[in-house]
Structure 1
Amino acid sequence: MNIRKLYPLLFLFISFTFYAQGERMKEKREQIKAMKVAFLTSELNLTPNEAEKFWPIYNIYDDKQFELRHNRMKGSFRKINDDELDKLSEKEATALLNQIESNEEELFQLRKKFISNLKDVLPSVKIIKLKRAEENFSRKLLQQYRDKGSKK
């Protein structure tokens, strides 16, 4: 399997870990969001006009993506993470799988709409740079997480 396909999943599971730890993690999320804004700003080299139009669209997208990944999928992954997985009936497993597929489809449609909205604001090259910058940020965040874990 291509390692690049694992990054979103790794980021997703790290995000679940952050969400599970309550208020302290809300602060952590805000810190990560601030780091992400700074990273994307530097990578995209947006003009003032582009930035003025880009950030409201991006923030709405990012918030909806977070909600989908964390709030809606939380129940699904709770069953998977518990020891209950082996106890699921085929019917329950099918329902869970359908819910996961539905959430993944919603995420895909959200991303599609986001890109469509960006086409009115940014040139296509910068939209592609955004995708690359998001992946690079996730990679950087994972590396920091790994480095922090190895120091303990």
Structure 2
Amino acid sequence: MTRFLARPVLLVALLLLGSLGARAQSGVRQRPSQRLENARIAYITDKIALTPEQAQRFWPLFNEFTDKRRDLRKQTKMGLRGQDFSAMSDKDIRAALDEQFKLRQGEINLEKEYVDKFAKVISLRQVAQLMQAERDFTRELIQRLDNRRAASGALSGQE
């Protein structure tokens, strides 16, 4: 029965993507990041079988979570990047590492907080499916990029 409900949601998502594509062809080009985001929304909506009512409450919450997680990940990446550890004291190295641990723990805490928030608008089963769908989407995206690179490498090797 849940799959039955997911089909209209998927259809709406695909129609939305189609209309965005039509707009892009009419002169307003869609950014690749926006196309990727639209594909991710359609993928997750299908995988966790959101009803239209759930989707209306879920997506603003998920977008809020995604923004906060993106900010934490950006801070984590910037923390150790470009550090010259050979010129740092042990005390400074320890402080830099502790800051990294704090940021990574912050991401875990954020996920725990939002699991509770998500569970108020979708079922726990859907929350678990969401976590799996995010990993699967990322895995599929990486695989497609690898395939594209391999194909472009094979084409350039033939010339």
TM-score (ref. length: structure 2) = 0.69
Name which one, 1 or 2, has greater alpha-carbon Rg.
2
Q: Does structure 1 conserve the Cα–Cα contact (< 8 Å) formed by 2:118 and 2:127?
A: yes
One-letter code of the match for 1:53? R
Give the CA deviation at 1:85.
4.1
Matches within 5 A, 1:2-151: 27-70=31-74, 72-79=75-82, 84-150=84-150, 151=152
Cα deviation code 1:94-138 (max 9, x no counterpart): 111111111111101110111000111111111111111111011
Give the CA deviation at 1:38.
1.3
RMSD: 1.7
Cα distance change of structure 1 residues 61 and 85 upon mapping to structure 2, 3 Å threshold: same
- In structure 1, how many angstroms separate the alpha carbons of the residues matched to 2:50 and 2:69? 22
One-letter code of the match for 1:110? L
- In structure 1, how many angstroms separate the alpha carbons of the residues matched to 2:87 and 2:120? 49
TM-score (ref. length: structure 1) = 0.72
3-state SS in 1 of match to 2:37: helix
Cα distance change of structure 1 residues 30 and 68 upon mapping to structure 2, 3 Å threshold: farther
Gaps of 5+ in 2: 1-30, 154-159
Query: How many equivalent residue pairs?
Result: 122
